[in-house]
Chain A
Amino acid sequence: MSEKTYDPIYDQPYDPTLAEKLYNPKKPMENRITDIGPPKYDQFFPPVIKKNYGKWVSHEILEPGVLKYKSETGDVVYVVRCGTPRLITTDYIREICDIADKYCDGYVRWTTRNNIEFHVTDEETLRALMDDLKGRKHPGGSYKFPIGGTGASVTNIVHTQGWVHCHTPATDASGVVKAVMDDLFEYFGSHRLPAQVRIALACCLNMCGAVHCSDIAILGIHRKPPLVEDDRITGVCEIPLAIAACPLGAIKPATVEIEGKKIKTVRVNEKRCMFCGNCYTMCPAMPLADGEGDGIAILVGGKVSNRISAPKFSKLVIPYLPNEPPRWPSVVKAIRHILEVYEKHARKYERIGDWIERIGWEKWFELTEIPFTEKSIDDYRLAYDTYRTSTHFKFTNHVAVK
């Protein structure tokens, strides 16, 4: 057993009675500790990481989900990456801890896409760890710790709260992600794409996470203007904030009479509303969720890395697909289709956005047979920059010659 590097406080058992002894509601500031920040990071580095910090010279991907890093000291570290559903229980975390204790001296890390990574220093432990991980399944049959997410794969889907915890979503997050990843599972554990494909989901257009800059983005959208609760609005909203919350100036102050009393409220110019939901974020009396109206838009072609081309926003290509819980078949089918056409046509190293820009959007819509609609034509402020101000285009089946 290697020497412990972490704060000894973590070896002291949790005392479930201590907080009640320390916290006195009559003197709330007594015994209060504040502004201590996070635990210092390096106490949780596995010894090989701590020793070789800043000394790594190269790496290779041995197989999908397995990386090997070499240090200038001659040390190596093997990394096994596993998918997780992000929404996890303490028992799932404890199982991760069991695995970490058994093979990795208790050390484990999470990635920026909510995968987990185990570190070992020899091949024998590596094989034992992988065999163990592959055998762990939930009672329903799903893998607990699928290995993959490296190289030219589809890795984990960065996603949001959905119907599990948020008040403004137009779709669910965890359910859609599970449905999509089940369908694309073969791509998580393989390296057969032209480049890595980042899929992200946001359940409303606040776009918590990475939807605006992902290869494929799943975005919850509304299609009906908000309701206005005249009898409640003054009690729960600051009306000027609701008015200022509208990107299109569609909300105006108004006065209505209820039971002989004049009440301040708002009116929504429905023709100017594009259902962003930001007024509801600011004002609880303007709900807009709607089972039939809400659904999902698909965007493609975004990226954050600076590799070859500059970072790009994702662009809207499918304006609406219905919410179809629990498996969202239309969304799952559309994403697989986009991925397969990309896999077939793109060149090595081309991200989805790089490929589309090379062939042209008109060609992409023709290749994918995704119907092009007016909804993909920008009409917000700087929209003009997205129009085709040249004669450079390809003739595709969209052009009807008369």
Chain B
Amino acid sequence: MADIKKHDTPMCDELKSGPWPSFVDDIENYGLAKGKQACMDLLGQLELSFKNKETHWKHGGIVGVFGYGGGVIGRYSDQQEKFPAIWAFHTVRVNQPASKFYHSAALRKLCDVWDHRGSGMTNFHGSTGDMVLLGTTTEQLEPIFFDLTHQLKMDLGGSGSNLRTPSCCVGKARCEWSCIDTQELCYDLTMTYQDELHRPAFPYKFKFKFSGCPNDCVAAIARADLSVIGTWIDDIRIDQEAVKAYVGGELKPNAGAHAGRDWGAFDIQKEVIDLCPTQCMSWDGNKLSINNKECNRCMHCINVMPEALRPGTDTGATILMGAKAPILEGAQLSTVIVPFMRLEPPFDNLKELIEKVWDLWMENGKNRERLGELIQRFSLSEFIRHIEVDPIPQMIREPRANPYVFWREEEVPGGWKRDVAEFRKRHPA
């Protein structure tokens, strides 16, 4: 340990001060305590990047483990003589348990593996959900994989043109609003599609995310090609006594989320009734009424009065598709494909839909074309026809304004094969 080389890192050191947890302090102290040159070299290279305002990682890097086509992100320093301990600095994505509950026994054992075979640095977690083991060498990849599978019963997550690691919100484990079993759904689909996750067979990446309600705590609508968002189809449950307790000031609106500022006494008319986006609620001073047929289940009233209002009991999910970041054709949010689907194990109805979508996209998707871009290129109407879903108004925000409407030949009496001579018999030129 004596020979560990600490680089001069004045700019990094400035990030040790201030109240927010300092990654620099954590990395430096760990590196010194454990004799990890990779930690020192990483900070050294980061310091150089701070100085040059440019990254010092080489482009790309293709590494992995036998049997899989993804799960490891290869990375090499472009300052290999200065920072030899991060000459190769690959990232290993490890599939996290659904909604990221752990026991210390499992975490400690994972830490032991990573101290032994890697840099000791991690990301908890990657944006897609994986536990990210940050920085190791190529020759350690197979041993890490063997340790993960044999000693931790953990598997790699996804990378490349495949099904990426699915993730979900906390769901029924600790939320009164979850309309679906997000963990079970996430786990079941992850297990069902292991082959699609580990061996890239798609035109591009594909992500699943599962949120228990329209608050969408895992950002499924923005960050997944297939977004499953829990909802209900019956009436919001109302506890009128609890409503009165809110009105009387005994219960804090929004569970106390705004308690750090004086917003005045709770005003149910102003804070709930008037903010309802469909104006389907009323309060007569004694009783709260909701015209559930007009409710669009935005969650606002339930969020404001969690002791008084609860989602209905006939639950399922809305299935939306096509979200993606800007590259290439612009950012997209997922769009409604199935307004309501009941979701009970083994989720065959959802799997049938997913497989129809994959069949279509795998056949027709261009190289590096996300599903959302294929939907744009095909048009939504063409897309739903291929996956055998009927068009309904819930799929659109508004009908088209332009009149450039495609009709298929079989929809038009007499078809498209016409004889101009016949036309001229009626209309001499």
Q: Of the candidates B33, B57, B198, which one forms a contact with A91 in the assembled complex, judged by CB atoms under 8 Å apart?
A: B33
CA distance A146 to B21 in the complex (A): 8
CA distance A53 to B355 in the complex (A): 30
Residue of A nearest to B140 (CB): A19
A290 touches B54 (CB 8 A): yes
Tell which of A320-328, A333-341, A369-377, A390-398 binds the partner: A320-328
Known: A86-B123, A91-B29, A93-B111. Contact between A207 and B326, CB under 8 A?
A: yes
A49 touches B21 (CB 8 A): no
Q: Mark A232-261, 1 if CB is under 8 A from B, else 0.
A: 000000000100110100000000000000
A14 touches B112 (CB 8 A): yes
Interface size class of B (residues with CB under 8 A): 35 or more
B101 touches A53 (CB 8 A): no
Shortest beta-carbon distance from A37 to chain B in Å: 5
Shortest beta-carbon distance from B251 to chain A in Å: 8
A364 at interface (Cβ–Cβ under 8 A)? Answer: no
Residue of A nearest to B188 (CB): A37
B26 touches A44 (CB 8 A): no
Shortest beta-carbon distance from B271 to chain A in Å: 7
By a CB distance below 8 angstroms, the chain B residues around A306 are 214-216, 221, 296-299
Shortest beta-carbon distance from A79 to chain B in Å: 7
A69 touches B176 (CB 8 A): yes
A22 touches B146 (CB 8 A): yes
Shortest beta-carbon distance from B92 to chain A in Å: 12
List 4 A-B pairs, minimum CB-CB distance, nearest first.
A140-B16, A182-B18, A151-B257, A191-B260
A276 at interface (Cβ–Cβ under 8 A)? Answer: yes
CA distance A33 to B26 in the complex (A): 34
Q: Of the candidates A23, A69, A83, A241, which one forms a contact with B142 in the assembled complex, judged by CB atoms under 8 Å apart?
A: A23
Q: Mark A30-44, 1 if CB is under 8 A from B, else 0.
A: 011111111111111
By a CB distance below 8 angstroms, the chain A residues around B19 are 141-143, 146, 182, 185
B21 touches A112 (CB 8 A): no
CA distance A110 to B169 in the complex (A): 11
Residue among A16, A39, A62, A83 with most chain B CB within 10 A:
A39
CA distance A139 to B16 in the complex (A): 8
Interface of chain B residues 335 through 390 with chain A (CB within 8 A)? 367-368
A85 touches B97 (CB 8 A): no
Given contacts A49-B101, A244-B368, 14 further A-B contacts (CB under 8 A): A10-B152, A16-B112, A19-B142, A37-B190, A41-B97, A42-B183, A56-B175, A63-B259, A91-B120, A142-B25, A152-B257, A190-B260, A308-B275, A325-B51
A311 touches B221 (CB 8 A): yes
Q: Mark B18-50, 1 if CB is under 8 A from A, else 0.
A: 111111111101100110000100100110011
By a CB distance below 8 angstroms, the chain A residues around B300 are 307-308, 349
A175 at interface (Cβ–Cβ under 8 A)? Answer: yes
Residue of A nearest to B258 (CB): A152
A107 at interface (Cβ–Cβ under 8 A)? Answer: yes
Q: Of the candidates A142, A163, A169, A311, which one forms a contact with B20 in the assembled complex, judged by CB atoms under 8 Å apart?
A: A142
B298 touches A307 (CB 8 A): yes
Q: Mark B126-138, 1 if CB is under 8 A from A, else 0.
A: 0100000011000
B261 touches A191 (CB 8 A): yes
Residue among B34, B58, B152, B255 with most chain A CB within 10 A:
B255
B306 at interface (Cβ–Cβ under 8 A)? Answer: yes
Chain B residues packing against A (C-beta within 8 Å): 11-27, 29-30, 33-34, 39, 42, 45-46, 49-60, 66-68, 73, 75, 89, 91, 95-116, 120-125, 127, 134-135, 142-144, 146-147, 149-155, 167, 169-170, 172-176, 178, 181, 183, 186-187, 190-191, 194-195, 198, 214-219, 221-223, 252, 254-261, 263, 271, 275-277, 296-300, 303-304, 306-307, 310, 325-331, 333, 367-368
Residue of A nearest to B96 (CB): A38
CA distance A144 to B365 in the complex (A): 46
Shortest beta-carbon distance from B424 to chain A in Å: 42
Known: A61-B255, A93-B122. Contact between A12 and B327, CB under 8 A?
A: no
Number of interface residues of A (CB under 8 A): 155
Known: A206-B327, A247-B328, A305-B215. Contact between A34 and B106, CB under 8 A?
A: no
Tell which of A124-132, A209-217, A262-270 binds the partner: A209-217
Q: List 12 A-B contacts (CB under 8 A).
A: A23-B143, A37-B95, A44-B103, A54-B178, A60-B255, A87-B121, A92-B26, A93-B107, A93-B124, A112-B219, A152-B261, A212-B222
Known: A89-B121, A101-B104, A144-B21. Contact between A41 and B277, CB under 8 A?
A: no
Residue of A nearest to B277 (CB): A308
Shortest beta-carbon distance from B340 to chain A in Å: 15
A353 at interface (Cβ–Cβ under 8 A)? Answer: no
B57 touches A208 (CB 8 A): no
CA distance A90 to B31 in the complex (A): 10
A241 touches B102 (CB 8 A): no
B116 touches A14 (CB 8 A): yes
Residue of B nearest to A312 (CB): B333
Q: Of the candidates A37, A38, A92, A165, which one forms a contact with B134 in the assembled complex, judged by CB atoms under 8 Å apart?
A: A165
A142 touches B155 (CB 8 A): no
By a CB distance below 8 angstroms, the chain B residues around A139 are 16, 25, 29
By a CB distance below 8 angstroms, the chain A residues around B20 are 83, 85, 142-143, 146, 178, 181-182, 185, 188
CA distance A15 to B112 in the complex (A): 9
By a CB distance below 8 angstroms, the chain B residues around A109 are 99-102, 170
By a CB distance below 8 angstroms, the chain B residues around A89 are 26-27, 30, 39, 120-122
A138 touches B25 (CB 8 A): yes
Known: A23-B143, A112-B169, A166-B57. Contact between A37 and B17, CB under 8 A?
A: no
By a CB distance below 8 angstroms, the chain B residues around A6 are 103, 105-106
B26 touches A138 (CB 8 A): yes
A107 touches B103 (CB 8 A): yes
A164 touches B46 (CB 8 A): yes
A348 at interface (Cβ–Cβ under 8 A)? Answer: yes
By a CB distance below 8 angstroms, the chain A residues around B30 are 89-92
A313 touches B104 (CB 8 A): no
Known: A84-B124, A109-B102, A207-B326. Contact between A31 and B146, CB under 8 A?
A: yes
A380 at interface (Cβ–Cβ under 8 A)? Answer: yes
Q: Of the candidates A10, A294, A348, which one forms a contact with B53 in the assembled complex, judged by CB atoms under 8 Å apart?
A: A294
B172 touches A54 (CB 8 A): yes
Residue of A nearest to B112 (CB): A14
By a CB distance below 8 angstroms, the chain B residues around A349 are 254, 271, 275, 300, 304
Q: Of the candidates B25, B263, B276, B303, which one forms a contact with A348 in the assembled complex, judged by CB atoms under 8 Å apart?
A: B263
By a CB distance below 8 angstroms, the chain A residues around B217 are 112
Q: Of the candidates A36, A278, A294, which one forms a contact with B155 in the assembled complex, judged by CB atoms under 8 Å apart?
A: A36
Shortest beta-carbon distance from A148 to chain B in Å: 11
Q: Of the candidates B101, B105, B134, B307, which one forms a contact with A58 in the assembled complex, judged by CB atoms under 8 Å apart?
A: B307
By a CB distance below 8 angstroms, the chain B residues around A342 are none
By a CB distance below 8 angstroms, the chain A residues around B110 are 93
By a CB distance below 8 angstroms, the chain B residues around A309 are 277
B101 touches A36 (CB 8 A): no
A212 touches B33 (CB 8 A): no
Shortest beta-carbon distance from A348 to chain B in Å: 5
Shortest beta-carbon distance from B172 to chain A in Å: 4
Q: Of the candidates B16, B127, B331, which one forms a contact with A313 in the assembled complex, judged by CB atoms under 8 Å apart?
A: B331
B50 touches A325 (CB 8 A): yes
Residue of A nearest to B95 (CB): A38
A37 touches B58 (CB 8 A): no
A355 at interface (Cβ–Cβ under 8 A)? Answer: no
By a CB distance below 8 angstroms, the chain A residues around B252 are 60
CA distance A188 to B21 in the complex (A): 12
